[in-house]
Every structure is written in C-alpha cells, then in structure tokens.
Amino acid sequence: MSGADPQPLWLDARDANGARGAVILLHGLGANHEDLVPLAESVSPECRDRLTFVMPRAPLRRITIAGGLTVPAWFDIHTYGDNGEEDWQGLDETRAMLDTLMKTLEQRGVPPERVVIGGFSQGGATALHYLCRNPQTLRGVFVLSGWLPRGEQLPQSPRTPVLLVHGRLDMTLPVHYARLSRHRMEEAGFHVEWHEHARLGHSVDAKVLAVLSQWLDGLFAAD
C-alpha cells in the first residue's frame, strides 16, 4: 500500500461568514477524489453556500478479487458474498486517516457534530465503518450504492442519522446487500432513511443528487 494523498481536495463554503458544516466525500474503488466534484457542485445552492466539501484520495492497494490489480482503494476486497471476510486492517488504516481529517476540520471551527461523512460504493462502506467505530455523534452518514461491512460491530444507542440509496439495477453490488445493511442497522436502533430506485444501476443520477441535497438541507436546516 502506498500512502494516501496528503492534500485532500477542498471546496470551501461560499458563505463569507464561513462554513456551518462539512461533508467528507469518499470515492469508490479504483476511482479518484476528483470524480466527486460534480456531486459536491450539484447539491442545492444552500448546501454549497453553507458547507465545505472535503474529498480525500484513497491510497493505492492491491485488490485480491481483481487478481492483485493495484488501484486507489480504502481497503482490500477479498471476495464478494454474504460470508466473505472484510479487510479490517485496511478499514482501520482508513479510519485513522479520517480521524486526522476530522481534527483538521475541528481546528477550522467545524466540530464532529457538524460533519457528514458519506461516499459511493466502497466509500460508503468506509463511511459506515467509521460511524460504527467512532464514539462521537456525527451530523449524518450517507451511502450511495454501498454496504455495511460484513461482521461490523454496531454501536449501542446510535444517534447519527443514516441515508442509504441504492438501485435495483445495480449489477456490481446487488440491492440485496443494501437491504441487509438497512435491516441490520435498523435492528441496532439507527434511524435510516431508505431510498430504493427502480431504474438505477451502480451509479449516481439526478434523482440521487436530489435526494442527497434534500437530506443535507434537512440536517443543517436549524443551523
């Protein structure tokens, strides 16, 4: 594994009075942090005015299921399926990187309770891992076409709201896995907002962006 990019991409809030919150966006397997810039720029004007968007880049890792191909990844993927083992070492390494980024945001005046973490596919799984292992309450966590890591330790009395969005046409990560994630999290006491789109594959479209914008607007409406 090579080191993560030390300079995440920042899109500062456009409000001259400073950010009221921040959103950490985590890209998918083999992607680039710049891939999420359109997502950040497509949210509502109110979100862009009030929120700083931070896009870190995953380190290069060898991916077992891809025959050892080296790509940007938050953790290795050993196998697909319900009974596979997650790369807990890789997930914990990424969690340490996110801890550092959270400290940087707090130094900028944005405490954890005003931070949202979310991502696409593997980035979404990473966000859920951070949520489950982090004792602090976040403003929210969202997952687009992602999953709850298999065997994840769910916290007691969770207070962070979660948004899950998945498509029924997703052939990369079938909606079955997202439904299982929703079920496990709701059983553990999480408040989960669930959106299942009939014509969505493993991607983000205008309807997903509209859902995300509305959700973010609601989270920060009282600030």
Each residue's pLDDT expressed in tens, for the chain with a length of 223 residues: 555 455 889 998 887 677 789 999 999 999 998 889 988 988 888 888 889 999 999 999 999 999 999 999 999 998 876 667 899 999 999 999 999 999 999 999 999 999 999 999 999 999 999 999 998 899 999 999 999 998 898 988 899 999 999 999 999 999 999 999 999 999 999 999 999 999 999 999 999 999 999 999 999 886 7
Number of structural domains the chain divides into: 1
Do the domain assignments include residue 131?
yes
Do the domain assignments include residue 1?
no
Q: Using a CB cutoff of 8 Å and minimum separation of 24, what contacts does 207-212 make?
A: 208/144, 208/165, 209/39, 209/42, 209/43, 211/163, 211/165, 212/39, 212/43, 212/118, 212/142, 212/144, 212/163, 212/165
Do the domain assignments include residue 2?
no
pLDDT at 16: 65
**What CATH number is attached to the domain comprising 97?**
3.40.50.1820
The pair of structure tokens assigned to 162 is: 């979660």
Do the domain assignments include residue 4?
no
d(CA 33, CA 138): 22
Do the domain assignments include residue 67?
yes
d(CA 110, CA 72): 28
Please check whether residue 181 is in contact with residue 150, taking contact to mean a CB–CB distance below 8 angstroms.
no
C-alpha pair distances (Å), 169 with each of 11, 17, 162:
32, 43, 22
Task: Pick the closest to residue 136 from 171, 169, 105, 176 (CA basis).
Answer: 105
SS3 25: strand
d(CA 111, CA 104): 10
Domain range for residue 32? 9-219
pLDDT at 14: 83
Question: Please, what is the Cα angle at 186 between 184 and 189, to 5 degrees?
Answer: 115
pLDDT at 46: 83
Instruction: Map tokens 């509209």 to a residue.
Output: 210
Do the domain assignments include residue 47?
yes
Do the domain assignments include residue 188?
yes
Q: H or E stretch including 54?
A: strand 51-55
